[in-house]
Every structure is written in C-alpha cells, then in structure tokens.
Structure 1
Amino acid sequence: MKRKLTAGAVLSATALLAGAIQVAAAPAQAAAPSPVQQREALIALAGGEAAPVARALALGGQEKLVVKDAVLDTNGDRHLRYERTLGGLPVLGGDLVVHQKANGTITSVDRAYEGRLALASLTPALSADKASAQALGAVRATVGIAPDADEAAISRVDGAGAAQLVVWAADGNPRLAYQTVVHGQRADGTPSSQRLVTDAATGALLSSHEEFQTATGSGKGVHVGSVTLTTTQSGSTYQLKDASRGNQWTGNAASGNALYTDADNVWGNGLASNTQSAAVDAQFGAAATWDYYKNTFGRSGIKNNGVGASSRVHYGNAYVNAFWNDSCFCMTYGDGTGNANPLTAIDVAGHEMTHGVTSATAGLVYSGESGGLNEATSDIFGTMVEWYANLPGDVPDYLIGEKINIFGNGKPLRYMDQPSKDGKSKDAWYSGVGNIDVHYSSGVANHFFYLLAEGSGAKTINGVSYNSPTSNGSTVTGIGRNKAAAIWYRALTTYFTSTTNYKAARTATLKAASDLYGGTNSTEYKAVAAAWSAVSVN
C-alpha cells in the first residue's frame, strides 16, 4: 500500500482572529461560524503573520513564508505551518511549524531544514528544457526494470511536463534544482506520475518518487456487507453522491468515471458481478474515513476544508491495485484477478485517503525514514478507520490488507504487532532503515503504534492472536488505540515536517502526549517513550 516573535506583532494578529470569529457570532440571530469558516480565519491569520514571523526567525532577505495549514488548540495555542520560498522559488524541504501561545509568544519552531538559506546564485547552469529532457531520459532508462518495492515496472513513458526551478533542501544541502513530473504507466496498468528533482548545475538526480501511492493486492469480492448510504435525489433518480460529506461521490471508471445513479436507491447485491456492489464499498469506505476524522479529530474532509473526495471503481482490466491521487483528489480501485475481486476493503480506503491527509499537513517526503513514516501513518489510520466502522463482515484488527488476500493464502499484507512476519518489514530501527523501501521501513512505526496501543507479549484481541516482541526485552503496557491514534494525529498535524525521521518522530509524539495528557509525568508520555525504546528509537 501505498509518506517542524515579537509579542506585539502576534498579539495584534490574535485580536484579528478573535474578532473574525466573534464578530460573526455576536448577533443573537447570526449562526456560529462553521469549523471550515473558523479554519479559513485561522489560515488568513497565519498568512498575515508570514512576514513578521519570517523576520522574527531571522530568515534571509530573499526568504518568504507561504502558509500551508494552521491548527488552533482549545486553549488558544496556535500552530502555524509554512512552506518557504527563496527568491520566489519553492524550497523543497524548507517547511516549518511555528508554535505560539494564546498570548502571542512563540514557544518553539519545528523546521525541516534548520539553517538559513543562502545560495550563491539563483541562475541555473542548465536550461529548463534540458532538465525536462534529462528527467524524461532517467525514467525511460527504468522501463522494464521493477523497483525494489512490490510494484510493477514502468512499461510506458508518455512525456514530461515543464521543469520547475526550485531550491532543494530536503537532504540538508541546499542547492538550485529543477522539479519535473514524468507521466506514463506501469506494467500492471497503474498510472505513473514520477516527480523527479535534478541538480540545476549538473543534472544529477537528487530525488524521485511516484505520485500514485498504491495498495497492491487481490481481493475476494465485496467487503462491507449491508450498510446504509447517504445519497442524493435528483428528480426521480438517485445519485451516489453524499452532500452531508462534502459532496463526495463514486463513479464508474469503465464508463468514463460516470456518477452512479439508480432508480430505487437500493445499490448492489453484494456480488462482484453487480457493477454497483464495488461502488457501495467505495462510497461507504469514503464515508467511514470522513466520519472517523470528523468525529475523532474535528477534521472536515481530507484537506480539512469541507470538500469530499471522489472514488472510481472498475478501473482497468483485471487491475489488481488501488491508489490515491492528490491531483484529482480521488481514490481509484481495480477489480482484481479476473475482474472478480474488487480491491474495495475498508482499510485500503482509509490507508490511501490518509495519504491525502499527510500531504495536506506534514507532507512527509516519500523516501528515506520520512517515507516510512508516511506509509506507517496510512497503515495506522487505515487500521483506525477499520476499527471505527466495526463491520460484522470485516472484524477490526491490526492486520493490513487482510481482506484482499494478496498472497492467495489468506495471509495479510502487513502485521502491526510483529512487522517482520511478512518477511520484509522491520520490527525495529537501525542505522540503515532509511535505505530500504518505505513499505518495509514503515514497520518500525507500525510496531511502535501497536505497542503503544496494546502493549507487548501474547494476547488475543477480537478473536485474532498477536504476539508483539520488543527489541530491548522490555514489557510495554498499552494505553489503548484511541489515545495512541490521538497522539500520532497531533504529532502529524502539529509537529512533523516534510523531513521528519524516526528520532524526530519520537520527539514529536512525546510533545503530543505531553500536550494531550498532562505533561511529562503522565502515563501516556511514559508509554510513548517506552514504546519507542522497544523499537530501538532512543
């Protein structure tokens, strides 16, 4: 499956935010602002503070901050997330999060890149056309060669977009670079959209990752069983569109992504042979993911802007995959082996759509240790969506992709209690873990999460047997999955940056536990520390 002032300046902005919210609510007859409106006001505040924050952080004269996200705590504390530019160029790996008290004082800053940016020149030695051609050639050179991951090789390259001049700082060595997107297709039918970063002086490849984050596997039919769906009536026809969840909808990829409609508002029959049955799975999975994030964290949609995602089923021919794509803000599902096994399991939906949440918040770079954390975040919340839905036909567990039967023997894709049981994932951190595929380095964080939630040792939960070891021989006592998820979400949205590694994730989750549960002496804080130590992150 498919990744961190001056009090006067801030105080005036605080008043602006309070005024923006309170003015709307003051008249007795006026409705209170919606969460989306409150977030828009907070984003506007963060945008207004960008320049004074940049000065307060002593950024260089050519550096500017561009607001990406903002979080407001119940006590008034603010966490303002910014991307950075240099001379008008985007800085990849230059993001930061500014943490402020309610009175406007700064408490800390989490930075993806700690230093001050200063390049000798912003004039590239190579032209944009040359950079685009080099990126295209780099991808063409990989045609027919399978990557290290369980992912199909590139089978076709369609072309490259225009190269964009950027500053690359994600590896701690800032330099002028180009970013180019090369489009094509993989051998299994998955669309390919590779984002490459190349040195603007030498053309050397600095980074490459696939935009389409996928869940490889084969399914065993329809998964959610009998469920209730929220639909939209248009005249005498019903549409598989949910106005109560940001108008998220499901379409048929085999018919040009046409929106599903029905005459009697009774959808599917539970069999893969009925074209609507997979659509029921997809629509319900999107709704369950929306509801989990909304009811658990107050998040209104993947981007927290009240806009629902779309889903499309019956993609390709016997396509054994599913993927999330930020560019279309959509989930796509194949029908699996023989077009008889749609990959519409609920943890697949939660996993893939969580890639969208990560993109909208921390933006974890999809390589190295940050890539492992990106994948683990999707595993964690895909699992939590499954627990939230609590379906009789898909009993919640800590197994990843168990319903899609990828190996044809009933075994899941991944195990959170002991990741190494899949033969490739890692139970604990070691110095080279960032060099392996992100789907396997994610095991460190998956194991941490299971230990934090349930603890170590042998136990049976919901009829499933687990036996979670620790790398240091310790015994870990869990604090429950809901607290563990709250800590991870807080860390993701408030403290993680694009380059967060496992060491920084430990620090961030400890901060989150302290924020949520009463400081460094709390049981939860101590459990976080113990769980990280149990996977060798010290």
Structure 2
Amino acid sequence: MPQRRRALIGRRHTTVLAFTAIGSLLALAAPSLATAVPADPGSTKITATPRAGAAQPSLTPARRAALIKSARSAAPRTADRIGLGAQEKLVVKDVLKDADGTTHTRYERTYAGLPVLGGDLVVHDKSGRTTVTKANPNRLRVPSLRPKLSSAGAATKALGISKQAKVKGAGTERAPRLVVWAGTGKPVLAWETLVEGVQKDGTPSELQVVTDAATGKELLAAEHVHTGSGTGQYAGEVPLGTTLSGSTYQLVDPGRAGQRTYDLNQGTSGTGTLFTDDNDVWGNGLPSNRQTAGVDVAFGAAATWDYYKDTYGRNGIRNDGVAAYSRAHYGSNYVNAFWQDSCFCMTYGDGSGNTHPLTALDVAAHEMSHGVTAATAGLVYSGESGGLNEATSDIFAAAVEFYENLPADPGDYLVGEKIDINGDGTPLRYMDKPSKDGDSRDSWSSTLGGIDVHYSSGPANHFFYLLSEGSGAKTVNGVAYDSPTYDGQSVTGIGIQNAAAIWYRALTTYMTSTTNYAGARTATLSAASDLFGAYSPTYLAVADAWAAINVGNRIALGVNLAPTADQISGVNQDVSLQLDAYTTNTGSALTYEATGLPAGLGISPTGLISGTPTTLGTSDVTITVTDSTGATASDTFTWKIGYVYANTTRVDIPDVGAAVESPLTITGRDGNASAATSVYVNIVHTYRGDLTVDLVGPNGTVYSLLNRSGGSADNVDQTFTVDASAQPLNGTWTLRVQDWAAIDVGYIARWQLTP
C-alpha cells in the first residue's frame, strides 16, 4: 500500500490520521534529569552477539538489481509454487539475502490486472524449504470486476471525506484507480482516490481514500503526510559532507550519494535554493543564522544514512543507493516536520516564531525511518499497523541518537526532547512510560486500533524500551527512567543495539502491510530466533517484553515439549515422526525416552521416531524429554497400527469442470470395512467452498465428505470418519472431487483410507 508522507506530530481525537494541534499536544512536567550520573547498563542485562549466518551483507545497487531481476523472471513459477490463484500475479518489491544464502523476497500482488492493496507477502527460501508471510491470509477472490460505483462517484465521496478531515483546498489531480482491497477482512473491488490539499496546521495533505466499488462504503482514510564541519542548534559542532563547486561550497554530501540540503526560504513548494558557503564553515548554533538549521538537517540525514549502512548494510532509505534530499525553513511558524515519499525528501519547519526549528537528530531519524518502513513492510498508517509504523520511527530515532552519541544530544528514550515545542522542556513522547504524555497507551488493549497512531505507538515504544534497558528504575546518559510492566513481572534488557537489530530484521523480513501487535510479536520472535537462536536468553527476553505490555505470554523456563497428535500408521509401512522439544537452559542437551511404542518402532537421540510397525493394535505412547540440568517434560498420545492405504498421485481439479477421481484398490482382505472408517484428504485448492468431496465405496455407495463448506479458506487438510460397514474391504475405493465455481483451481495431493 503506498506510503507517501509522514510527520512527527499527530492530531489528537480525530478519526482521520493527521497531526495534533500544538497547543494541546502535551502539558507535562519536564523529564526527571540527574546530573553527572553515568549510563547504567543494568545489573543483569543480557549480552549476546547475533549469528553471522543471519546477517544481511550490504548489496551494491547492481547486485540488488540482479536479485530483483532474477525474482521477477521466477515470479510466475513462485506464484504457482506457493499456491496462488490463476488470476493472481506477483510483483517484486525487494529482495534481501542472508549471509547463509537464505533469501527473503517481498512481493506486491495483482488480481486480474488490478493492484491489490494489502495483498503483499514475503517468500522465505532456505535450503530448499519455502515459507510465506502474508499480509492477508484470506484467498483472493472477487465475485465481480465491474464496479457499481462510478469513478466520479468515488472521487466525490473522497472529497467529502477530506472535508471531514478539515483538508483545505482539497482536490484530486488524477482519477480514482480501481483496485482490490484486501487490507482487512474479505477482499472486495474498490476505488482508491488520492486527495491533495493542506492540513489545518499548514502541513501538505495527501489523503488516501479507499471506497467499496459496490456499496460506496469507506474502507480506509489514511493521511500520508505523517508528521513526525558546522555548528547546529541541536547537534553542536559536527562534521559535514560538502562539495566544492568553483569557489563555493555546497551542502551536497559526496560520501552519501550526493544528499542535498536546501533552504526553502519560508516557501512551501519546490526545493528553494541549495545551501552554499564561501569557506566551508557552516552556521553558528543560533537560529538567526539560516545555515544553522541547514547544519542540523544535513547532519541528521548523514547520521541516519550512516546508521542504517554501518549497522545493517542498508544502502540508503530504499536500499538502492539513491539519496534523499532535505529542505529546511518550510513555511512561517510551521511547527512540524515530515517525510514525503512522493518527492523522496525530508522537510522541516522553523517552529514557533521561526526560532525553534524541528531539526533535532531524533526528528530527522524518525522521519527518514518512515521512508525505510515504506520501502520494506509498508505498514498501513491506520489501526494497529499505523501505531507500529509510528513506533518504528521512534525506535530508530532513539537508535540513531545512541549510535551518534553526540555531546550536545546524547542518546535517550525521549522523542523530540530537544525541539521543546511547548517551551517547558517536555518531550513529545516517553518510551519508558508512554502514558506520561497524557494520551499514549502503555500496554495493548482491544481498543488500541481506534486511537491516533501517534498514541497507539505507545505500547510498541514501551516494548522497545523494556527490551533495551529492562524494567524498573535506572538512569541512562543522565536521564532517569522507571518503566512498569503490565503483568507486574520484571524484564531483563538486552541492550539497544540488539533490540534494534531484532526490530529491523522483523520489519524488513517478516512484517507486512497489515501486521498488528500480535503479528509484531511473532515477527520479532522469528527475528530473535534467526539472530540469537530459538529459546536463547535473548529470545526469551523478547517474549517477556511483549508480555510486559499485554501481548502474548512469557515462555516457561526449562524443557518444553510440543503435544503430539494421536497417530495412525499402516502395518509394514515406514514411519517417520520428529518430536518438537526445546529447553530454555542454554547449551543443555536433550535426551529422549519413549514407552509404549508399537513393535518395530524406535526413538533416536534427536527425538525422531522411525521404523516399520509389525503388529496391529493400539498403544498409549509416553514421551519424556530431559535436559542435562535435570529439567523434564512429558506427553502421552495413542498410536494405532492398522491397515492404511494411500494414493499420492497428483490429480488436477479443473475450474467449474467435471468431477475427477483418485482410486485405491484393496486386495487380500476379508469382511467389511469399519463403522468408523477414517478418510484423510489433502487437497491444495484456493477457496475450498468451491468443492464437493465424496468417497465412493466398492459397491458404488457415495459418502459425502465435504459439500462446499469452508468458504474462502484455502485447502482441505482434514480427516473424516464414515460408517462404511456395508462396504466389502476388497475392491476399488474412489475419492471424487468436483469444483462448482469459477476462478480458483487446485489438485488432489494425497488421500488415505483406514477402513
């Protein structure tokens, strides 16, 4: 989904995502500051080094382009491999490659040639194993591609919504485009309209409005202007990258792809004039000198570039080696700053009285990190994903501050503390206890998605602080913090560098446009597993920090053994069952014991049960797993050994076509089948509600297994029980499948009969 502009400050108590009226943003006491107190890393802070194999080496633009080209050529095969429908196509957005060769390819999707908003996905390929992370798990299927609402009607509705959002001078420069909306719930045909104008505080407005093409219902209204050597006003004396042109120096940074810094001269459009100087000594630290803001701006852009490059190998905001540009002195008395995807640029106002420019380092890093989010997960700026989008920018703003560690602006967990919008020393947001700003939430609740994204970001900011520093009272770089937890239990920090590394990998590798808080927990645990190992102390700290903001549970210490489902295997047929166990005691080896295994089966030191069962019957199996500290866990399940017959030959199912059949022939058996005959069916088919599935016995009796149930869910992976006691065992049994509705197709992958 497109993300165009982002700003630092949000409007409170509105339904459309915009900015906060400055006078009512914060009315809080100044942060508690301690003097001459060294940084406190915490008495029990976890230290760990990320795994080398999970690193993502920096890609040259040429190498990145080659990976994208290869992914594009393979996109049709990939779409088929991951089971997409016939009308769906993959459009490559980016490719990341780990040091161990694992690739993560991010795609947008089209459906019948239409863009799918919320249809993005990431395909992870590692050593021949493929997994997929989808923004919307529902199958793409739209009953009609003919809109009932006209394009003009959609534009009119969008303009009406913009008026409610108090956008002045609203207009549409281009006609609405027809799309498939998959941002939430069942996919529908929709119109996407971009309304441009000016917000109440003077910030440019790009309001994305999505309306149902059948009913005209508003599906989304998201504001895409999201506010958020020389001597700078905030950075102090810092080095700058400049270029000599003739006898004049320009704020053009040759070491960072030519990043440019312009003076808008209080204008609100264009680029203004490039900052120049005759002696390469810029600014004097005072706002009366126009170069001073330029120094802060240029340094902020350079610091953000360097942080992503040096820490993660990221080559610019989009990872393509292309520089963004920056504009200082926007408007008059404009109290905000914003990132704009459409110009790939960063813009700063001069604040109240044009003497308090919003050019602090964390403001720059915050806004440009919106560009990184847009180029990767593309988190929709609405609901919980919008709060995560905002939090991501706050998280990397803090990370950049700690990375630079400027004497004039040391790292902290306060957002916008230097710009002092209210004139009373208060920051915009507090990461250790977000509710201190009067509006942000400390923890997740079911109502979180209904508030402004600048405040729904609070729980994620709180998670990040807890993961970095831990809970309780402590002082870091002279600032006192006292972070509570939702569950009343303590959290041990892992350090901001490792916390940021986990968030970055989760953002770039696992999150999608619709990721919510529960999805962010899953994504960060996956990232922690990649970087530090599953169930390592660092991994457990991630789970603890999420539980501390009411997202998910803490992971129990000791040995954990995943339950094993009851098993049915065929006599004289090979068995292979891998148990899933782990211990949180680092470096502790596991041993496995099994009692009650069917004759012919055994268990290996790695927990693999294998062999060939030789005797019919049912037994109770107990598995016991013990680690070298003596911690243990057990699980019991039943294992039936019977006559099992299977057909694994693929049979394609035509779209709205004749029924297809997959036969099994049984010989050498006496009597009839059981009154509890078991039929396992594995069909790969999108939109399973299209299908009827029947079992046909040897005497022709038809047993209905599935009659167009399951709706839009994918695939049939299910065991059915039927009374087939009137059927002779010997003879041909047939699985019959028919597709009764258009669009989706698939195939019978396997079916199994235990008569």
Aligned-residue CA RMSD in angstroms? 1.5
2:127 is the alignment partner of 1:113: no
2:113 is the alignment partner of 1:88: yes
Give per-residue Cα distances to partners, 1:203-223, cap 9 Å, x unaligned.
2211011111102xxxxx821
- The CA distance in 2 between the partners of 1:44 and 1:444, in whole Å, is 39
Give per-residue Cα distances to partners, 1:224-246, cap 9 Å, x unaligned.
11111011111111110112111
3-state SS of the aligned residue for 2:92? strand
**1:34 Cα deviation from its structure 2 partner:** 5.8
8 Å CA contact 1:364–1:499 kept in 2: the answer is yes
- The CA distance in 2 between the partners of 1:138 and 1:527, in whole Å, is 44
**1:140 Cα deviation from its structure 2 partner:** 2.3
2:543 is the alignment partner of 1:529: yes
Which of 473, 476, 484 pairs up with 2:491? 476
2:200 is the alignment partner of 1:175: no
- The CA distance in 2 between the partners of 1:207 and 1:46, in whole Å, is 31
2:334 is the alignment partner of 1:311: no
- The CA distance in 2 between the partners of 1:141 and 1:409, in whole Å, is 33
3-state SS of the aligned residue for 2:141? coil
- The CA distance in 1 between the partners of 2:59 and 2:193, in whole Å, is 38
- The CA distance in 2 between the partners of 1:299 and 1:204, in whole Å, is 40
8 Å CA contact 1:133–1:160 kept in 2: the answer is no
The equivalent of 1:393 in structure 2 is 408
3-state SS of the aligned residue for 2:342? coil
Which of 46, 60, 70 pairs up with 2:85? 60
Unaligned runs of at least 5 residues, structure 1: 4-31, 144-153, 216-220
3-state SS of the aligned residue for 1:288? helix
8 Å CA contact 2:360–2:419 kept in 1: the answer is yes
Which of 419, 431, 440 pairs up with 1:425? 440
The equivalent of 1:230 in structure 2 is 241
8 Å CA contact 1:64–1:85 kept in 2: the answer is yes
Which of 421, 445, 463 pairs up with 1:448? 463
- The residue identity in structure 2 corresponding to 1:240 is L
The equivalent of 1:218 in structure 2 is none
Closer, same or farther: CA 141–443 of 1 in aligned 2, 3 Å: closer
The worse-fitting range, judged by mean Cα deviation, of 204-213 and 277-286 is: 204-213
2:229 is the alignment partner of 1:206: no
Number of residues of Structure 1 aligned to a counterpart in Structure 2: 492
- The residue identity in structure 2 corresponding to 1:192 is S
- The residue identity in structure 1 corresponding to 2:287 is A
Closer, same or farther: CA 294–270 of 1 in aligned 2, 3 Å: same
**1:530 Cα deviation from its structure 2 partner:** 0.5
- The CA distance in 2 between the partners of 1:46 and 1:496, in whole Å, is 19
2:169 is the alignment partner of 1:156: yes
Closer, same or farther: CA 236–482 of 1 in aligned 2, 3 Å: same
8 Å CA contact 1:222–1:341 kept in 2: the answer is no
3-state SS of the aligned residue for 1:471? coil
8 Å CA contact 1:156–1:186 kept in 2: the answer is no
Query: What does 1:17-416 align with in structure 2 at a 5 Å threshold?
Result: 35-101=60-126, 103-106=127-130, 108-143=131-166, 154-215=167-228, 222-254=233-265, 256-416=271-431
The worse-fitting range, judged by mean Cα deviation, of 286-295 and 402-411 is: 402-411
Give per-residue Cα distances to partners, 1:77-99, cap 9 Å, x unaligned.
01111001101111001110011
8 Å CA contact 2:351–2:421 kept in 1: the answer is no
8 Å CA contact 1:448–1:534 kept in 2: the answer is yes
**1:270 Cα deviation from its structure 2 partner:** 1.2
Larger radius of gyration: 2
- The CA distance in 2 between the partners of 1:352 and 1:302, in whole Å, is 11
Unaligned runs of at least 5 residues, structure 2: 1-7, 10-16, 18-56, 553-755
Give per-residue Cα distances to partners, 1:395-429, cap 9 Å, x unaligned.
21000110111222101111101111111111111
Which has the larger strand fraction?
2
**1:160 Cα deviation from its structure 2 partner:** 4.8
- The residue identity in structure 1 corresponding to 2:112 is G
The equivalent of 2:588 in structure 1 is none
3-state SS of the aligned residue for 1:213? coil
3-state SS of the aligned residue for 1:195? strand
The equivalent of 1:148 in structure 2 is none
- The residue identity in structure 2 corresponding to 1:56 is R
The worse-fitting range, judged by mean Cα deviation, of 375-384 and 431-440 is: 431-440
**1:383 Cα deviation from its structure 2 partner:** 0.8
Closer, same or farther: CA 142–442 of 1 in aligned 2, 3 Å: closer
3-state SS of the aligned residue for 1:281? helix
3-state SS of the aligned residue for 1:459? strand
The worse-fitting range, judged by mean Cα deviation, of 256-265 and 472-481 is: 256-265
**1:159 Cα deviation from its structure 2 partner:** 4.0
8 Å CA contact 2:351–2:358 kept in 1: the answer is yes
- The CA distance in 1 between the partners of 2:273 and 2:75, in whole Å, is 42
Structure 1 runs, 4 residues or longer, greater than 3 Å off: none
3-state SS of the aligned residue for 1:407? coil
- The CA distance in 2 between the partners of 1:57 and 1:342, in whole Å, is 50
3-state SS of the aligned residue for 2:436? helix
8 Å CA contact 1:71–1:78 kept in 2: the answer is yes
8 Å CA contact 2:138–2:186 kept in 1: the answer is no
**1:158 Cα deviation from its structure 2 partner:** 4.0
- The CA distance in 2 between the partners of 1:203 and 1:330, in whole Å, is 34
- The CA distance in 2 between the partners of 1:287 and 1:225, in whole Å, is 15
- The CA distance in 1 between the partners of 2:164 and 2:173, in whole Å, is 14
- The CA distance in 2 between the partners of 1:131 and 1:173, in whole Å, is 20
8 Å CA contact 2:334–2:354 kept in 1: the answer is yes
3-state SS of the aligned residue for 1:198? strand
Query: What does 1:7-18 align with in structure 2 at a 5 Å threshold?
Result: none
**1:138 Cα deviation from its structure 2 partner:** 2.0
Give per-residue Cα distances to partners, 1:85-116, cap 9 Å, x unaligned.
10111100111001101x3431x211011122
**1:35 Cα deviation from its structure 2 partner:** 2.2
- Alignment TM-score, normalising by the size of structure 1: 0.89
The worse-fitting range, judged by mean Cα deviation, of 480-489 and 181-190 is: 181-190
Give per-residue Cα distances to partners, 1:481-535, cap 9 Å, x unaligned.
00000000000000000000111110110010000012x2211100001100111
3-state SS of the aligned residue for 2:90? strand
**1:156 Cα deviation from its structure 2 partner:** 3.2
- The CA distance in 1 between the partners of 2:513 and 2:282, in whole Å, is 41
The equivalent of 2:670 in structure 1 is none
- Alignment TM-score, normalising by the size of structure 2: 0.64
**1:33 Cα deviation from its structure 2 partner:** 10
3-state SS of the aligned residue for 1:61? coil
- The CA distance in 2 between the partners of 1:504 and 1:209, in whole Å, is 21
3-state SS of the aligned residue for 2:511? coil
- The residue identity in structure 1 corresponding to 2:545 is A
